[in-house]
Structures are given as C-alpha cells and as structure tokens.
Amino acid sequence: MDGQAHAARTMWNCLHDWWTMLPKDKRSLAAADAAIRQARREIDWLGVLPAQAGQAVLKTYFGAWKNCWDRRADEPNFKARLRTVMSVDIPQGRDLQIKRVHRRWGMVNIPKVGRVRFRWTKVLPVGKLANRENRITGARLVKDGLGWHIAFRVLTLESKPEPHTGPEIGIDAGVNLPLSLSDGNHQDHGRPARLPDGTADRDKWLNPDEKAKLLRLEQRAAHRKSFRKPKERSSNRLNRTYDQIKQLRAKATRRAVDWQHKTTTGIAQQYGTVVVEQLNITNMVKSAKGTIEEPGTNVAQKSGLNRSISQEAWGRTVTMLTYKTGRYGGTLHRVPAPGTSLRCSACGFLTPGSREGQATFVCKNPDCGWSGNADWNAARNILHLYRIGLVAIPAAGRAVVRRTRGVKPAAAR
C-alpha cells in the first residue's frame, strides 16, 4: 500500500508537469488519459498502482482544476513527499469483496495487495443489506501516524428531513472557551488551554504520561539529528523516532476530531438555526515577524496565539456544523465578524476599553455597565446580527444601515 500511495503521488506530479507544459489548446482529458496509460506501460514502478486507481488520480486532478476555474479553490500544485498525506483510491466497489468475519472485524480485498482485515465500526450495506439503492461504490485508503485507514463510499437514499423547529443560537469560536453559545450553554472540551505559567498548551489533548513521552522523543530526535551532516539522509533510528512522534500527534488529532464530531452533532440536534462568524482564518494566523526594515512586535505571543487557533480548527468545526444542521433539518448562517467581540450585547454601544481581557467584558457606557464573559458577549452579538438582517448595526446610539452596493435590504429579500 505504501508503494501504491507513492506511485499515486508521483503520478499526480507527473500529470501536473505534463498539463502545465502543454499549450492550452492541446490540454484535454483524453490526451491526459493516453499519457497515463503510456506511463504505466513504460515505467515499472508506476505499474504498481492499479489502472483504476490511476484513473482516479486523473479524475481528482481534473476536478481540482475545475474547482479552480469556478473560483472555489486555488490552482493544484506539486505534492511534496513529506508534506502530502499518503492515500490510494479504489473507485470500483465490486473489487472490494467485503465480508464480515467477526463482530468487530471484517475482510476487504485491496487490488494488488490481497485480503486485508479492518475494524468494523458501523453498519455497511453488504450481503443481504445491499441493493440497487443502498450499496458501496468504492473506498479510499488513507495513512496517518497510526497506520492505514479505509473509508467506504456508500450510495444510499436519505429522506428529506422535516424543518427543525428548535431555537436560534449564536456561536463564537475562541481559544480559552472553544465554543461560546449565546444562551450560555457553552461547550468546553475539559482541557485547559494554557499551562500554569500562562503559555499556550500545544499538547492539551495528551495526558501527562503522553506529554512526558513526547518530550523524551523530541529530545532524542534533536540529539540524533545533531550527528547528521549537511545534505545527508536521516538514519533509520531517527526516522523511527519521528514515526513515534507522529503516532502521538495523530492520537491527539483523533481525540480533537472526536470531540468536534460529538459537540457539533449535539448542537445540530438541539438548535434549528445556527449562526457563526465569517472568519478569515488564513489571515488570522499570519506571522507577526515582519521584515528586517520593519520588524514586528510581540512576535512570540502572536506565534503562540496562532498555534492555539490552528489547534482549535475552527474551520473544521464550521464544516461539520454545515452538513449536520442540514442533515437534521436546520440551517447555518454566517454574519460579519468585525466588532462582535468589542460591542456590548446589552446596549449596543462600542465603547473603548470595554474588553478588559481575554475573558472579561465590562461595558464602559455609564448608562449600561453590563459585565460578563467576553466570548458569551460576542455570541450574543452574532445572534443579534442575524436577527436584524445583517444590515442594521447600532453605532453611536443610532441604527446605521450598511450593505454592499447592489444588495437589497433584508425586507426586500
């Protein structure tokens, strides 16, 4: 499977070079298919990849360009060996020959590999449960630090859910408090975001024993790396140490994703309308290092904040909420983010100095004086923006209508 994954990545890179070097009038799906077939015949180690998996690489690459042309994604680029997730696609379900042999285990056929045992974690439409409207159409093999995993593609009919009649909720994503809800039902993963000395805990999903083991492995890797000469390949011992570090990192990621799945499922089942901020996370995690002529300030603090934001994976949480609210009949809406954490949710005034800290908000308006958690205040503002139609934003004691040119007001919509 490792050989097939490396062959699939190399085929993507060769296809990318072939596609970008050709004139635009000679680029076509048929020409790319002919080039792949010729490459598999002439290059032995590309023949390790099954023909169907090679066609899946071509289909994925062409789909990436289509997403770029539709302005949904950037241009496809080169896949580096160390930064690319190893994966192999099995596009035809009939090649799998899935059979359940135990309550917890099943057997699947991998082309050019043979019969492989996998962990049976959910009901699959195989045997008598499979029919024309409910069947497995393919699978995908993905490797991480814990080994190879298989994900099955299932074609099934799902009834359209009834409209969710649950309440509306505004959600603010944070670092100290992962998900703050406007009704006060905050979602916390029970792990402190910071160490006793106040610095961000980048390994909060690991227990103390695992943290100590990770520290020993990192020190061992640094020691062994010090003996490596420039441009010299890593030793097998150093690579084994790196693999052990990857296993601990993958375990922490799996725990974080598990918490996100359970939390977002509970929110989608309880609330009918979910409102979140429209965040540009890429710009939020940019470095503050600056340049030599204009060096940045508080670079170390900004780096710690960037790591904490990346660790919380806000974008993945919103993606889960998007499809889960639709699955349960609810809806998800996004509102503009500027000002939600600085404006008082009780009086609507944006008074300087009201945000006293990361978790404290005290309104400086003499006629208000409301105080509470800063993230909760932002969640209430997010829900309020949705209720007023995303256009009327209280400022200086009056309602100001702000909308993009050419966009109709909420009442007309």
Tell me: pLDDT of 68 over 60: yes
Residue 408 has what pLDDT?
47
Average pLDDT value over all residues in the chain:
85
Tell me: pLDDT of 199 over 80: no
pLDDT bracket for residue 393 (50, 70, 90): very low
Give the list of residues 6+ apart from residue 397 with CB closer than 8 angstroms, or none.
Answer: 349
Q: What is the mean pLDDT of residues 251-278?
A: 92
Higher pLDDT: 48 or 279? It is 48
Q: Residues 341, 327: contact at Cβ < 8 Å?
A: no
| pTM, two decimal places | 0.81
pLDDT bracket for residue 217 (50, 70, 90): very high
Angle at 161 between CA 156 and CA 163, to 5 degrees: 160
Strand partners, 168: 273
Q: How many CA atoms does the CB half-sphere of 299 hold within 13 Å?
A: 8
Q: What is the mean pLDDT of residues 316-332?
A: 91
Give the integer Cα–Cα distance in Å for 326 and 46. Answer: 42
Q: Residues 255, 205: contact at Cβ < 8 Å?
A: yes
Identify which of 363, 346, 345, 366 has the alpha carbon closest to the alpha carbon of residue 354.
363
Higher pLDDT: 209 or 287? It is 209
- 81-96: pLDDT as tens digits: 888 899 999 999 888 9
pLDDT bracket for residue 291 (50, 70, 90): low
Give the integer Cα–Cα distance in Å for 323 and 330. Answer: 10
Higher pLDDT: 56 or 398? It is 56
Q: What is the 3-state secondary structure (H, E, C) of 334-380?
A: EEECCCCCCCCCCCCCCCCCCECCCCEEECCCCCCCCEEEHHHHHHH
Give the integer Cα–Cα distance in Å for 54 and 38. Answer: 12
DSSP string, 241-300: HHHHHHHHHHHHHHHHHHHHHHHHHHHHHH-SEEEEEE--HHHHT----B-SSSB-SSHH
Residue 399 has what pLDDT?
38
Tell me: pLDDT of 195 over 80: no
Which of 238-247, 296-305, 347-356, 389-398 shows the lowest per-residue confidence on average (mean pLDDT)? 389-398
Tell me: pLDDT of 413 over 80: no
Residue 378 has what pLDDT?
86
